[in-house]
Amino acid sequence: MSTSISGPVVPINAPVEHVIVRGSARGFLQEATAGKFTFQVDEPISAGGTESAPDPYDYLLAALGSCTSMTVGWYARRQKIPLESITVRLRHSRIHARDETCETKAGMLDRIDLDLQLTGPITTEQHAKLMEVAAKCPVHRTLKSEIDIRLRAVT
């Protein structure tokens, strides 16, 4: 039995573009496209932007917060835990590395404070398990791991 493939043939080594960001060199306002979705990114007025859209760190925090919420909700549904709602509050800051217990003792360290509120008739044990699961969401794991970003010029 043969199978036919419809649509354009994409070479195996062809880059897959998931997110494209375009902007003018005259300002900070950017337009990002992720698949069929388009959104804007800007900087606050205090940083020279027009504050007409969230800044890059807002999107980073939104990615972590939404992934955390989705992961906890998915786990609760799967385990039939009577979780009713999830609220994630996040803050980003930069702190002196010497003030923290980390391997790096020089320079600044990025910190994300994530406060997770779980509501519903859940037991103490279920709450503890959901908190454990929250720290294992894919974006959390990505941000905690070593990240290899390959920057290359394209003509």
Q: Give the tokens for residue 90.
A: 């996040």
pLDDT of residue 15: 62
Q: Whole-model pTM?
A: 0.81
Evaluated on CA atoms 125, 130, 136, 140, the torsion sign reads negative
pLDDT in tens, 97-130: 655 555 655 677 899 999 999 999 999 999 999 9
Q: What torsion, rounded to 10 degrees, do the Cα atoms 48, 93, 114, 38 define?
A: 20
What does the pLDDT look like over 9-36, one tens digit per residue? 545 565 667 899 999 999 999 999 998 8
Q: Where are the alpha helices (DSSP H) in the chain?
A: 56-79, 124-134, 138-144
